[in-house]
Copies of this chain bind each other. A is one copy, B any other.
Amino acid sequence: MANTQGKPVAVIIGATSKWQSDGRNTKLAHGKALDDKDLPVGVRWGVGGALAQKFAKEGFFTVLTTRKASNAAALEAAIKQQGGAYMTVELDLASERSIEAAFKTIRADAGEPEVLIYNAGYLEGRDLPAGKELLEHIPVEMFDVAHAIATRGPFLVAKEVLPAMRKRGSGSFFFSNNAKSLRGTKRNAGESLYYPRVMMRTVAQVLTEEYSEHGIHVANIVIDGLIDSPGTRALPRAHNNPEIIINPMKIAEAFYYLHTQDKSCWTHELQLTPYSTKPSH
């Protein structure tokens, strides 16, 4: 599907979810794919899917990037049913060549992005067994993958989209990040290797200082809790404490609010914390 109506373009890097019904985290945590047909369509694909649906509803031509297009099929169907315009582009953030090719396609078929949301995650580290928490037990390859997704990916993607935004004098470049991006912390068993996410936030700070005056709104969004999705909802701690779960549709509204902020008063970091917990810092 191409952007034949010339709608403004929103690119969601990582529009599908590791926690969707057949996602990698879902399978890792639950040992199988889950059934999501009873869940609201807004939460089935976590934040990525909610962002895609929200921006499509607001009139954007929404580009879904994902590692395998088939992962986005159900999300595409949902957007279609909601009357939205979209296309899916395969993208492997670990590959410079893949990033280049994807944006060539995006520029040709959709046009220069007005909004780019970097929502990529990784699960490296989660399967390290208890007793292997310390840095000395982290394989170099794991560190390299986390770096590729959290740090180098944003750098490469920024190089693809910022020049055109700068020349046009407008655009939104948002990072979907988590509370582990606020400082370096000990990795606990079962967690991803989070500390490269601090660097993702750092890149957001750099771009804020470098590109705001050129009319580009850069922001780091700190999602400070467990995001509702088929895979997270089924976790015991979510079952027992539903008040710690964040509604991804409301997260998507927060991103959209940021995009609509007046340029006389932009917010460059937005933290979203469930009422029941203390905000991370």
Interface residues of A (CB under 8 A from B): 96, 133-136, 138, 140, 143-144, 147, 151-152, 155-156, 158-159, 162-163, 166, 183-187, 195-196, 198-199, 201-213, 215, 217, 223, 225, 243, 245-247, 250-251, 253-254, 257, 261-279, 281
Q: Which of B185, B209, B268 contacts A271 (CB 8 A)?
A: B268
Write the nearest CB–CB distance from A40 to chain B, whole angstroms: 13
Q: Determine if B246 and A264 form an interchain contact, defined as CB atoms under 8 angstroms apart.
A: yes
Asked if residues B213 and A135 are in contact (CB atoms below 8 Å), the reply is no
Q: Is the CB of B273 within 8 A of A268?
A: yes
Chain B nearest CB from A269 CB (Å) reads: 7
**Alpha-carbon distance A155/B262, docked complex (angstroms):** 32
Q: Are B199 and A202 in contact (CB under 8 A)?
A: yes
Starting from the known contacts A135-B162, A183-B205, A212-B273, 9 additional A-B residue pairs (CB-CB under 8 Å) come to A151-B151, A185-B209, A209-B279, A215-B275, A225-B264, A246-B265, A265-B273, A267-B271, A267-B272
Q: Given A274-B264, A278-B209, check contact A159 B136 (CB 8 Å).
A: yes
Chain B positions within 8 Å of A211 at CB level = 134
Report whether B281 and A264 are in contact in the complex, using a CB–CB cutoff of 8 Å: no
Copies per assembly? 4
Known: A147-B147, A198-B198, A271-B268. A208 touches B136 (CB 8 A): no
Chain B residues with Cβ below 8 Å from A185 are 205-206, 209
Contacts of A277 in B (CB 8 A): 212-213
Cα A210 to Cα B247 in complex, Å, equals: 23
Within the complex, which residue of B138, B250, B263 is in contact with A275, where a contact is CB–CB below 8 Å?
A: B263
Give the shortest distance, in Å, between A244 (CB) and chain B (any CB).
Answer: 9
Q: Is the CB of B265 within 8 A of A267?
A: no
Cα–Cα, bound, A203→B163 (Å): 31
A195 — which chain B residues lie within 8 A by C-beta? 199, 202-203, 206
Interchain CB contact under 8 A, A206 and B186: yes
User: Chain B contacts of A276 at CB under 8 A?
Assistant: 212-213
A152 touches B143 (CB 8 A): yes
> Cβ of B186 and Cβ of A204 under 8 Å apart?
no
Question: When chains A and B are docked, how far (Å) is the Cα of A245 from the Cα of B264?
Answer: 7
Say how far A222's CB is from chain B's closest CB, in angstroms.
9
The winner among A156, A263, A275 for most chain B CB atoms within 10 A is A275
Residue pair B268, A279 in contact (C-beta under 8 Å)? yes
List 9 tightest A-B contacts by C-beta distance, closest first: A184-B205, A265-B272, A184-B202, A186-B209, A250-B262, A184-B206, A263-B275, A198-B202, A199-B199
Chain B residue nearest to A275 (CB atoms) is B263
